[in-house]
Amino acid sequence: MICSCGNEAFYYQRYSNKYLCKECFKKDIERRAKKVLGKDIIRNNVKIGIGISGGKDSLVMACILKKLFKHIPNAKLICFFVDEGIKGFREKAKEYIKEFCEEQGLELKIIKFEDEIGYTLDEIVKNDYLSELNIGRPCSFCGVVRRYLLNKHALKEGCDYLAIGHNLDDFCQTILMNYVEGNVKNIIQFGKEFEGEGFVKRIKPLKLIPEDEVRLYADINNIKYQKEPCPYSSLSYRHRMKKVIKVLEEDKPGVKFSILRGYEKLLKYMDVKEEVKRCEICGFPCSGNICKVCSWLIKLKEISK
Ligand code: SF4
Ligand code: ZN
């Protein structure tokens, strides 16, 4: 099969019914990331924090951002890696990341759960602290703390934006999970993030790129990334939702884009004006008097006495 540029195609994009050669595929992926960011973000003197985990998504995102900002005067990129302390898993991720950042000439900051909250995630799980905190799954704790730490350090470094490697599939999973569980508040909050002082605006350059294509982009660009999943991920509801979306996409190619589009249309009709307060302990934006992470840390201190 032949790509529209005349070269031999290597990939059939089922949802667009197009055959693409490697170069056109790369351009297509980078064009979509550029479209999501727009001119407001791709501009002079901007500083972007990049959350990287060592998986394909975050490394592909960092690689694309490096390309997009290459010729932008005085644009700075800095990578943040959160080490949760998951034995046998995060050490490997760290190796991939160090190599990647060195190759790409990207600055890297490593943030450890242990230094920041006093425990590794393994210790939290092993000591059964999750049930003491009334948290069902490790990801529910880990995800919130990771988000908190990334924001904290991006703020400290003076970043204008914090880039997160969520691909199209991740968006669809979150949207459907919240619909199915009836988490109306989360549905709205997911689309309308906190803005303002104390919060670095999050950007998601891979929003319009399906997971399979992120993987393909990594492979054809020889990006080495961690392939093993986190040992706690199979316990997640997200993992099950992934399987459901796969079935839907097989039946109807492009359904992921329609899930996202439908959700974005719906968002326009949903308006919650929630008062944003400041955590009395750490000063971070939150909806109550004390943020989730600080309240967990207080409880953890009590438990471990
Ligand atoms: Fe944390 Fe869950 Fe991600 Fe593992 S899969 S790193 S536990 S959020
Ligand atoms: Zn706090």
Q: Is 28 among the domain residues?
A: no
Centre of ligand 2 to C-alpha 79, Å, is: 23
pLDDT band at residue 14 under the 50/70/90 scheme: very high
Give tens-digit pLDDT for 102-148: 999 999 999 999 999 999 999 999 999 999 999 988 988 999 999 99
171: its two tokens: 């968006």
Question: Residue 125, Cβ neighbours under 10 Å: how many?
Answer: 19
- What is the total count of domains within the chain? 1
pLDDT reported for residue 124: 96
Exposure b/e, 179-192, CB count within 10 A at least 16 = b: eeeeeeeebbebbe
Indicate whether residue 165 lines ligand 1 (CB < 6 A). Answer: no
CATH classification at residue 184: 3.40.50.620
Which pairs with CB-CB distance under 8 Å and at least 24 residues apart come from 280-286?
A: 282/152, 283/198, 284/148, 284/151, 284/152, 284/198, 284/199, 285/194, 285/196, 285/197, 285/198, 285/199
CA distance 246 to 289: 41
Of 272 and 153, which is predicted with more confidence? 153
CA distance linking residue 198 with residue 24, whole number of Å: 40
pLDDT cut 90: percent of the chain above it: 80
Cβ atoms 64, 29 nearer than 8 A? yes
Provide the ipTM: 0.98
Please indicate, yes or no, if residue 127 is contained in any of the structural domains.
yes
Q: Which of the listed residues 84, 87, 111, 235 should we mutate to test ligand 1's pocket, taking the one with most ligand atoms within 8 A of CB?
A: 84
Question: What integer pLDDT is reported at residue 164 of this predicted model?
Answer: 97
Residue 18 in domain: no
Residue-level length of the chain: 305
Residue 62 lies in a domain: yes
152 vs 195: CA distance, rounded Å = 14
Report how far residue 99's alpha carbon sits from residue 97's, in angstroms, rounded to the nearest whole number.
Answer: 5
User: Is the four-CA dihedral 54, 59, 65, 67 of positive or negative sign?
Assistant: positive
Ligand 2 centroid – CA 288 distance (Å): 10
In a domain, 80, yes or no: yes
How far, in Å, is the centroid of ligand 2 from the Cα of 176? 29
Q: Write out pLDDT tens, residues 152-192.
A: 999 999 999 999 999 999 999 999 999 998 888 788 877 77
Q: What is the mean pLDDT of residues 192-215?
A: 89
Residue 133 covered by a domain: yes
Q: Is residue 152 included in any domain, yes or no?
A: yes
The residue nearest atom 2 of ligand 1, judged by CA position, is 139
Percent of residues, the chain, with pLDDT higher than 70:
97
- Measured CA to CA, the distance from residue 173 to residue 235 in angstroms comes to 15
> Residue 131 sits in which domain range?
40-303
Predicted pLDDT at 171? 94
What gap in Å lies between CA 19 and CA 35, rounded to an integer? 21
Beta carbons of 198 and 162 less than 8 angstroms apart: no
Residue 290 lies in a domain: yes
Q: Are 140 and 293 in contact (CB under 8 A)?
A: no
CB 186 less than 6 A from any atom of ligand 1: no
